[in-house]
Amino acid sequence: MARKEKLDLLGVSAFCESLGMMVKAGIPVSEAIGLMRQKEEGNGLLEENIASMEKSLEEGNTLQTAMEKTGVFPDYAMAMVKTGESTGKLEDVLFQLSDYYRKQDQIQQKIRSTLIYPAAMLAMIVVVLLVMLKAVLPAFSGVYQTLTGSLSASSYRYIEYAYLFCRIALCVMIAILVIGLVLYLMYRGNGKKQVEALLSKNRICRTILEDLSLYRFTSAYEVFLASGEMQDEALLDGMKMADYPPVEEKLKECSRKMEEGNGFARSANDVGLYEPIYGRMLIPGEKSGDIESVLKRLASLLSDNVIHQTDRLMNTVEPLLSGVLMITIGMALLSVMLPLIGIMNSIG
């Protein structure tokens, strides 16, 4: 059976925000969904499932159950809604979910652009090399062979080096593209952990993966706390969102320390869950009873850092690939121009 298409992140954010505003205005959830159905008439994925949600709510089901029956909402959103309904804080949870998925979309767009640009540059280099090998170099070779009779026996052997250089560069670029495609397919399939382990060998990539994981956990943990859960329960529920083994291990150690009677702030600092500059924010927040606002600020800082590190990675890759492209073209053109300079000097 084919897996049902999921609602995109901005769609989830818009749904939660719209529903949250109606709930805040005092409109019952079932009526709010009905109003959304009238407003969202169309052929989109959300519009196709609003009617079934309204019917499910009229049958006496909870909002979480109605969302689950559609099969288009993320598991995290449904878990948060369930918690909000059980604790009477559905309005707050909906607004927090809207903000969470909006930021998630921003981060994903930034990471996607970081991946697309190198792939486009590599493809461009491959095209340029193919043009050099199939059109430019043969044209020069024909001219020089007409003038000298044999490239290998003349001083114009540089062009043979150009052929060799372009062939080697082409093989390397194609190999990089193939490896990148294989890693992408692995990441989209069942090899996500293996790809992340490979990327973690690079310091910038490791920082991005860690901060992204911590952002997901911190946002979830803050929402669970705001929904009325105890710290230890919220930690276990939020841990499911981390989805990155190194961070998950630290969270497990943090959970063990909390079982010994320590608070989250102290436990997180002891295991080095956050960078010291971030971790120190938690202790005064926990002591003042305002840890939720600190966690929200911390999640915002982590998301900003992910975007910053992604830009940094882009700023490293962009000049590197541009340099490869310019060097490749420059070396090939230099190899075919040197014989021309020799001919001009002999004529002069």
CATH number of the domain that 330 lies in?
1.20.81.30
CB 97 within 8 A of CB 77: yes
User: Can you give the pLDDT at residue 2?
Assistant: 44
Instruction: Identify whether residues 162 and 52 lie together within a single domain.
Output: no
CB within 8 A of 52, min separation 6: which ones? 66, 69, 70
Instruction: Identify whether residues 188 and 84 lie together within a single domain.
Output: yes
Q: At which of 21, 53, 73 does a domain end?
A: 73
User: Can you give the pLDDT at residue 234?
Assistant: 85
Instruction: Identify whether residues 137 and 257 lie together within a single domain.
Output: yes
CB 187 within 8 A of CB 147: no
Q: Which amino acid is at 36?
A: M
How many residues comprise the chain? 348
Instruction: Identify whether residues 54 and 109 lie together within a single domain.
Output: no
Task: Answer whether 0.85 is exceeded by the pTM.
Answer: no
Q: What is the CA angle 285-253-79, rounded to 5?
A: 70
CB within 8 A of 39, min separation 6: which ones? none
Instruction: Identify whether residues 149 and 6 lie together within a single domain.
Output: no
Q: How many domains does the chain have?
A: 2
Instruction: Identify whether residues 186 and 242 lie together within a single domain.
Output: yes
Instruction: Identify whether residues 135 and 270 lie together within a single domain.
Output: yes
- For 231, half-sphere exposure in the C-beta direction (CA atoms, 13 angstrom radius) is 20
Instruction: Identify whether residues 51 and 142 lie together within a single domain.
Output: no
User: Can you give the pLDDT at residue 347?
Assistant: 59
Instruction: Identify whether residues 88 and 16 lie together within a single domain.
Output: no
CB 37 within 8 A of CB 51: yes
Domain hosting residue 132, numbered range: 75-348
CB within 8 A of 157, min separation 6: which ones? 151
Q: At which of 47, 73, 99 does a domain end?
A: 73
* H and E: helices and strands count for the chain: 16, 0
- What is the number of other CB atoms lying within 10 angstroms of the CB of residue 301? 18
Q: What is the pLDDT along the chain (348 residues), one digit of tens a residue?
A: 345 677 888 888 988 999 999 989 888 888 888 888 776 555 567 777 888 888 888 888 899 999 988 888 888 888 888 878 887 888 888 888 888 888 888 888 887 887 788 888 888 888 888 888 888 778 777 776 676 655 555 556 667 777 788 888 888 888 988 888 888 888 877 888 888 888 888 888 888 889 889 988 888 888 788 777 788 888 888 888 888 889 999 999 999 999 888 888 889 888 989 888 777 888 888 888 888 888 888 888 888 888 888 888 888 877 887 787 788 777 777 776 776 666 666 555
Instruction: Identify whether residues 150 and 278 lie together within a single domain.
Output: yes
| DSSP letter (8 states) at residue 131 | H
Distances (CA, A) of 72 to 9, 95, 107, 108: 11, 19, 21, 19
Instruction: Identify whether residues 5 and 90 lie together within a single domain.
Output: no
Instruction: Identify whether residues 56 and 104 lie together within a single domain.
Output: no
Token digits for 33? 């969904």
Q: At which of 73, 88, 103 does a domain end?
A: 73
Q: How far apart are CA 22 and CA 30, in angstroms?
A: 11
